[in-house]
Structure 1
């Protein structure tokens, strides 16, 4: 799709912007935030301790930030697309050179007011960058060699910087975010088929270059009972917790796997396990419905936007959120190897929530300014 090189202005009054809000999306985000806060309270043993206080603070601050971002014209997010991408790449380089090391990985950089994980931000800003890249492009140029190579460079550069941290899981999620944009921008499906075939063929060689703990995760996924008290312990306990929840769950603050400390990392990537144990299949289904409504509203906002940039961003962000949710829940159910994939908004972690709320802020900006044409 090709637009002219002129920005059209469509100034909206303050109250008009309020009327343009997608209140269904906003209510679902707030509801998800409330559920996450209640679950975090449960991880702290039914007391308001560090994780609950910290999660509440981040949730309040980043939700307010999302609302402020909603009032900013969508053409602003278009204008900073490349700059934001370069800035996050710079943060990734800074993390490699000066980052904080924890649990064998150097993923965080100390910005004094927050320990930031730039790889989480890259999941969002790679979408912003590529959406801007394809915005002004004629349809006949989308599948050109120049376009494909440039897109691959934009995706592979941050992937490489994240892999050396090492954090293969997040690198894959960044790639998925970028690939989603290529799909919705109209890249020929045959390139995706070639990529999948190439990945399958090279898989034995890729495994050979994995670090020992990464190989162990793959082996544990294939047979967690091989080392039930070691590498397989977490996923075994996770499946026990989910299964013991039954139809209606054990009740709020009554999850035995959590309260008897059988379940490690229950406040981060495995928070769905605790939630499922306490609220069972019905509670998990309701949580999935909330996520489904959120994704549907994101896609609907993209469909109603006049801006091609907004359309691509919304479609790609919605697809990325779907993949993040699927990978996290599949991981805790033993359907995928364990990777660093937090559950959006639910999991504890400032960088993950910051990135997710930035994404929602841009989506809401597209909704508020859905008649804004970016040329």
Structure 2
């Protein structure tokens, strides 16, 4: 089977890591692979380490539409918003079928080109029930499939883990890792830290990330000694190994890949009952859920997990089971079944 993956993002965030993880797994499964990627993206260098993958550098969705790019491909797999237009043009020009994986739970755009691109797809994949719901609202007649993303694993440097542990010695370390956008709920985490500052001085919050909301959040956290802004991190494996708990109280979220990554690393997790997060956090089983924006709930659950070893062990066991169910080996087989259905249709 020859699959052409398309991701035209210029950065290297969760969606790009998911694209890479799937391509790596499919290479192990014996696929022929083509990847159409933005030349500015770090994804390019990662893909160069995969001999089975031919790389096509494409700075814009209107470029690189030669017949030869997909001449031997069975199907195009779209992984982000701009890539859907590239797949649409390739389909209209050369009749190559394509599927779309949508990772965000926002309502779909009403623009005619976007609607056409989704309508022409052979199948639409949502990472969560909420994303599938949003797809169904706009395209009720489409073939809709829910396939959760898979956790990415990161290398761990024991020296760096020990440095983090030494810096926060004696503290119960809570991390919140995301780009600092308003919908990521950092304000909720900071407010929970404020509520715990006097009653639980041994709980330390580290906010891992950067973005346009950082200055405002730093203002909100002014005077709190139990909150530290650590900036954007490239060594998440070290932080997962050093931390005691991950919180992710987003107001909206496609699925929350960082939650799955933390689960894989053996951390208990707390998320918000928003977007696709409830698909992977079963309250009291694989983690805890708060109502969006409820800092009081978040503070209480953090304190419970910090103080109750049995509860923490129970949640870690459940989170490991959830992460295993989303392993890339399972995800790749699910996608393979979908590819075969589209190809033979």
TM range (shorter): under 0.3
User: Which structure is higher in RCO with an 8 Å CA cutoff and minimum separation 6?
Assistant: 1
Greater strand fraction, Structure 1 or Structure 2:
2
Q: Output the TM-score relative to the length of structure 1.
A: 0.24
